[in-house]
């Protein structure tokens, strides 16, 4: 059994406040949802486990130093004056990369502007220069 200090628990609570969206990377449990499953943090217990309600309906905790999740980073894109909120920048990058590769001319330039801003880590990415 791993003993977790109060300081680490407090750090985890700061890093993963209630409502934080996460994606499962790995979990050492036969009942675990598959990697890539997303969920919402509902708290952190005294052992440092993340209490997660998984989108699949599961509620298995993410055990500190055993299981791994990736914190999702929401981003907003504006392209052709259409605004879209993405749950994770990774999803937006994939979409705009494909759009960029499948277009040309001014359309490609718009998608490239958004993609470049996504790659730079901006939280709001538009097709404007």
d(CA 8, CA 50): 12
List, in order of start, the domains of the chain with CATH numbers: 6-71 (2.30.30.40), 75-126 (no CATH)
Q: Which residue(s) pair with 50 in the sheet? A: 44, 62
pLDDT of residue 1: 61
- pTM to 2 decimal places: 0.83
Q: How far apart are CA 44 and CA 9, in angstroms?
A: 7
- Chain segment 48-64, per-residue pLDDT in tens: 999 999 999 999 999 99
Mean per-residue pLDDT, 52-79: 96
């Amino acid at each position: 059994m791993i003993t977790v200090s109060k300081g680490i628990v407090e750090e985890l609570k700061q890093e993963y406040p209630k409502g934080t969206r996460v994606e499962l990377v790995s979990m050492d449990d036969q009942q675990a949802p598959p990697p890539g499953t997303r969920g919402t943090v509902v708290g952190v217990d005294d052992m440092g486990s993340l209490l997660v309600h998984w989108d699949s309906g599961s509620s298995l905790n993410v055990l500190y130093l055993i299981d791994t999740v990736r914190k999702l980073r929401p981003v907003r894109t504006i392209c052709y004056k259409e605004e879209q909120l993405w749950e994770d920048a990774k999803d937006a990058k994939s979409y705009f990369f494909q759009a960029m590769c499948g277009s040309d001319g001014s359309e490609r330039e718009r998608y490239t502007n958004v993609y470049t801003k996504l790659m730079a880590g901006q939280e709001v990415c538009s097709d404007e220069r």
